[in-house]
Amino acid sequence: MGKTSFLKSNRGASLVLVSIYSVIVISLALTLVAIGSMLLSDADSVKKYNQAYELATSLSTRIEELILNETSDNLHKSQIDLDSFIADPATEGDIVPLTSGFGSIPDSSVHAVISRKTGTAGTYYVLTVTATAAGETYIKTTEYTGSAASGYSKR
């Protein structure tokens, strides 16, 4: 019996079907592994981004408390004079970058800058907080109007 008669008599059909099923199963397994690793990679990236968000929001909230003076009985006098802070040659509106003390968040840093801008409605201040956690960066920007004497408010 030759090779062609072996396949024509359907004796080799089961061998061919087993081979096809094997290829399909192996392909599906490899596809599932690839999809699983992509999902885990995306989840890790989201976690790092969330950590950067938390760092930026936390520092921004604390600085805002000082600017708006929400923790004091005197709500109209800021604890920070933004004009003096920006004009100070030692700071020039730059808050010292924080690069440690964030617990279990690897390769993290937070940096805040206060700047003065002039627009059609007058002068306003911009607080920009940039946080990085393991390569993911989040930038939070808040604008304020007013003065240290009369108090600041969000724009």
In a domain, 10, yes or no: no
**Residue 91, token pair as written in the block:** 């700071």
Q: Report if residue 23 sits inside a domain.
A: no
Amino acid 71: pLDDT: 55
| Tally of domains in the chain | 1
Q: Does the residue 32 lie in any domain?
A: no
Residue 25 lies in a domain: no
Q: Which two tokens stand for residue 85?
A: 């802070």
Residue 92 lies in a domain: yes
Residue 81: inside a domain, yes or no?
yes
For the question of whether the overall pTM of this predicted structure is more than 0.75, the answer is no
DSSP state string for 67-132: HHTTTSS-TTS-SS-HHHHHH-TTTTTEEEEE-S--TT-TTEEEEEEEEEEEETTEEEEEEEEEEE
In a domain, 34, yes or no: no
Contact call for residues 27 and 113 (beta carbons, < 8 A): no
Least confident of 3-17, 19-33, 119-133: 3-17
Lowest mean pLDDT among 36-40, 94-98, 112-116, 130-134: 94-98
Residue 127: the pLDDT is: 92
Mean pLDDT within 91-105:
73
pLDDT tens digits, 50-69:
888 988 898 888 888 888 87
> What residues make up the domain containing 82?
46-154
Does residue 58 lie in a domain region?
yes
Best CA proximity match to 121, nearest among 155, 147, 149: 155
